[in-house]
Structure 1
């Protein structure tokens, strides 16, 4: 198979300075960081916007946040890998071509399949929130998968400008996948792309819609208790799901969002509740530098 990823941008560090490994067909790792700069744009001005720079920005931020994996992390209650022999690598960025949207999507799916065949956990960084669509397709052999979304918006648009896999559609597309058994959408608030039609479609599917107000009123433990036990979880985090006091660089900042502590507690709780087969963190629609 030809190479489907490329090294992080020149002179840029890898995520947490992990070793870079682009040989996905012969991967030896427990955790694999995968950058995805491009998704399916609604218009030409989206192709080379700031979201394409997101994997680089996340890598830069990672080395500022964690300079040494052996140091005590108070969010985790110990070193990042708990002094265990965990091998984490940075698989670089999926090669993208603005003229080949379907090819970009297929390369993302192929990369995720190879990472899972190596029994590694894929952690996807960068791009807009349309990226989970091909990522979830790459997990079709892992079903049933219960999806956990942290987002201000519903993301159930069927199509816009003829585009059915844009950043407003990932949960709609996920609902159509046979290996996705259900979903919890957490942090919903304010207005977004959803009309009454999309809201009713999400309800008809049976999506569990958890508003930010409900989360704040009842707490993370209550929300976790309402998430069904599942063999496999996939976690997708949109930057605008977090409160703009800690994540201001999004196009549609919505007050009252999920806090950093709540997000951490949700993730830790899900890891205890079941097997997490993948996760992603992406820009909130048109994220800004």
Structure 2
């Protein structure tokens, strides 16, 4: 049975406020998932918590909201990730928003050379110039692969934390043409929702595993932004959009990756408890993830 290391990373620093003067509530996600039984699925041997600095509204001169706080927090989270990832087991990181990926990737870089399976309903490949919000949560894929302000993309002089050719962007259905064009022009493997469905989730999972094996990496990380799910299943997100994956498709995509033995960790981001006041959405989410979390125990 595989040891699960659970890391709480309740940062909301990478988002713009949905309501002026009210900080985003994604920082409540770890406690919310625990309330609805997710921790019971994992039975973690260790629970670590990395607390972020307070949320602020300022946009840094580099064009990113809370840039200094995110930089500091990413280094703290990165140190925790490195400590955990060098031990036997599997790491599960609960955000928070997608900017936690910076700390995760920084920690992975210190431990070896890792791939990234980036599962997200958006490209998250914006730059400060193309971003409408200045939120790092919309730039995280670009930042971890070496694009964007050095204050965030080159922490500790380690840019890129993930080599672009080692990253796959999967499941996007964002219509932002500029971000999509920039991503397609990069070495990152791009599989949008339409392509994912055309060939099928299991086929793309197999292709990713083959690619990772050919590149002889130390393993790979799975980033799971819940807004990749169908809007009717997961409306409790800050940037909802029509369409998205079903839970059946999600399972078909992730189960082979978890069974491969080469995935070293998974992060879950963006589910906003304030947008699910009854817990019905989260309860269904936890139930749907049960077979995926059970796969961890089999490794």
Task: Judge same fold: TM > 0.5, yes or no.
Answer: yes
2:190 to 185, 202, 209: 209
**Which residue number corresponds to residue 286 of structure 2?**
none
Tell whether the 8 Å contact from 2:124 to 2:138 is kept in structure 1 after alignment: yes
The partner residue of 2:262 within 265, 269, 275 is 275
2:180 is aligned to: 199
Q: 1:141 aligns with which of 75, 100, 110?
A: 110
**1:113 CA drift (Å):** 1.4
**Hey, what does 2:169 align to over in structure 1?**
185
Distance 1:190 1:95, change over 3 A: closer
**Cα pair 1:251 1:285 within 8 Å, conserved:** yes
Aligned residues: 239
State the Cα distance separating 1:165 from its structure 2 match.
Answer: 7.1
Q: 1:175 is matched with which residue? A: 145
Asked if the contact 1:128–1:285 (Cα under 8 Å) also holds between the matched residues in 2, the reply is: no
1:127 and 2:102 equivalent? no
* Per-residue Cα deviation, 1:48-107 (whole angstroms, up to 9, x for no partner): 3211111111111225x95xx6xxxxxxxxxx8xxxxxx733424212221771332222
Map 1:62-81 to 2 at 5 A. 62-63=37-38
State the TM-score, normalizing by the size of structure 1: 0.72
Distance in structure 2 (CA, Å) of the matches to 1:221 and 1:210: 13
After superposition, residues 22-61 of structure 1 pair within 5 angstroms as 30-41=3-14, 48-61=23-36
Match of 1:254 in 2: 241
Higher helix share: 2
Equivalence for 1:10:
none
Between 122-131 and 227-236, report the one with greater CA deviation: 227-236
Cα distance between partner residues in 1 of 2:9 and 2:84: 14
Structure-1 separation of matches of 2:273 and 2:123: 16
Cα 1:175–1:41, aligned 2, differ >3 Å: closer, same or farther? closer
Q: Secondary structure at the match of 2:81?
A: helix
The equivalent residue for 2:72 is 103
C-alpha distance in 1, partners of 2:118/2:101?
10
Shift in CA distance, 159/287, structure 1 to aligned 2, threshold 3 Å: farther
Please report the TM-score for the alignment, with normalisation by the length of structure 2. 0.69
1:143 CA displacement: 3.6
Instruction: After TM superposition, give the deviation of residue 284 of structure 1 in Å.
Output: 5.8
- Unpaired segments ≥5 residues, structure 1: 1-28, 70-79, 81-86
Further displaced range: 120-129 or 203-212: 203-212
Contact persistence 1:251–1:286 (CA under 8 A): no
Instruction: After superposing the two structures, state which structure 1 stretch, 97-106 or 39-48, moved more.
Output: 39-48
What residue is the counterpart of 1:229 in the other structure?
212
Residue ranges of structure 2 left out of the alignment (5+ in a row): 56-67, 147-159, 277-299
What secondary structure is seen at the aligned counterpart in 1 of 2:30? helix
Distance in 1 (alpha carbons) for counterparts of 2:48 and 2:185: 39
